[in-house]
Amino acid sequence: ILGGVLFDLDGVITDTAELHYQAWKELADELNIPFDREYNEKLKGVDRMASLKLILKNGDREFSQDELVKLADQKNERYKELLETLTPDALLPGVRKLLKALRRDGILVALASASRNAPTVLDRLGVTDLFDYVADAGAVALQKPDAEIFLNAAEGLGVHPLRCIGIEDAEAGVLAIHRAGMPAVGIGTEETLPDADHHVATPADLTPALLREWMEEFP
């Protein structure tokens, strides 16, 4: 029986990857480190400090822990400025409709994002009220592909993990969902997300009935 649906944020609810890219790009340019949209793909679902380290790998300087924290803060300040441009228009197709349909059916909804800015993003998109619980990325010790954030989200809903289904656009997130014991819906294709149990192009292709069906057939 489907009790809860756990959503990733970036790439599932909205496409903030481009804003993350712009903020990182400005920092990389300042440091004279090559960085492009293709490399940005590797940062999807990766937390802030780990993302910074992946970028700095392509430069030849070493940074102290203090410097790393400053650089991560600098990127985040810029990212927060960019978030001010976000409006409900940035919701991916079908998200609001799906969230409302789940609520109507009594299915609980949580956010399981690695982003510490997730609450701000939900506010800007105007969908905060449609979430029953938002997992705190800052309180999670082990990042995706570890199961922690999805288990935390299920716990926050008060729904057993085996009654939840997860929705992700990144392979690390799909692995995290599976490690939490849940079926994984991929926003993408067999090629981009080979481990997802089902694939759809956008959340507009999802309905509560379909998610229920996929929950039932999951081993």
Give residues in contact with ligand BG6 (CB under 6 A): 9-10, 20, 43-48, 51, 76, 113-117, 137
- Indicate which single residue of 164, 170, 177, 180 sits in contact with Mg ion (rule: CB under 5 A): 170
CA-based R_g, the chain, Å? 17
**Cα dihedral: 200, 201, 203, 209 (round 10):** -30
Please, what is the minimum distance in Å from the beta carbon of residue 99 to ligand BG6? Answer: 18
CB closer to Mg ion, 75 vs 144: 144
178 binds, among Mg ion, ligand BG6, none (CB under 5 to 8 A by kind): none
CB closer to ligand BG6, 192 vs 207: 192
169 binds, among Mg ion, ligand BG6, none (CB under 5 to 8 A by kind): Mg ion
Catalytic annotation present for 8: yes
Q: Does 8 bind Mg ion (CB under 5 A)?
A: yes
Catalytic annotation present for 36: no
CB closer to ligand BG6, 59 vs 119: 119
115 binds, among Mg ion, ligand BG6, none (CB under 5 to 8 A by kind): ligand BG6
CB closer to Mg ion, 8 vs 148: 8
202 binds, among Mg ion, ligand BG6, none (CB under 5 to 8 A by kind): none
Catalytic entry in 10, 132, 169, 197: 10
Q: Does 71 bind Mg ion (CB under 5 A)?
A: no
Please, what is the minimum distance in Å from the beta carbon of residue 49 to ligand BG6? Answer: 9
Q: Does 171 bind Mg ion (CB under 5 A)?
A: no
3-state DSSP of the chain: CCCEEEECCECCCECCHHHHHHHHHHHHHHCCCCCCHHHHHHHCCCCHHHHHHHHHCCCCCCCCHHHHHHHHHHHHHHHHHHHCCCCHHHECCCHHHHHHHHHHCCCEEEECCCCCCHHHHHHHHCCHHHCCEECCHHHCCCCCCCCHHHHHHHHHHCCCHHHEEEEECCHHHHHHHHHCCCCEEEECCCCCCCCCCEEECCHHHCCHHHHHHHHHHCC
By CB under 5 A, the residues from 41 to 60 that bind Mg ion are 45
Angle between helix 171-179 and 148-157 (nearest 10): 60
Q: Which residues are catalytic?
A: 8, 10
The residues of the shown chain that bind Mg ion, judged by CB under 5 A, are: 8, 10-11, 45, 169-170
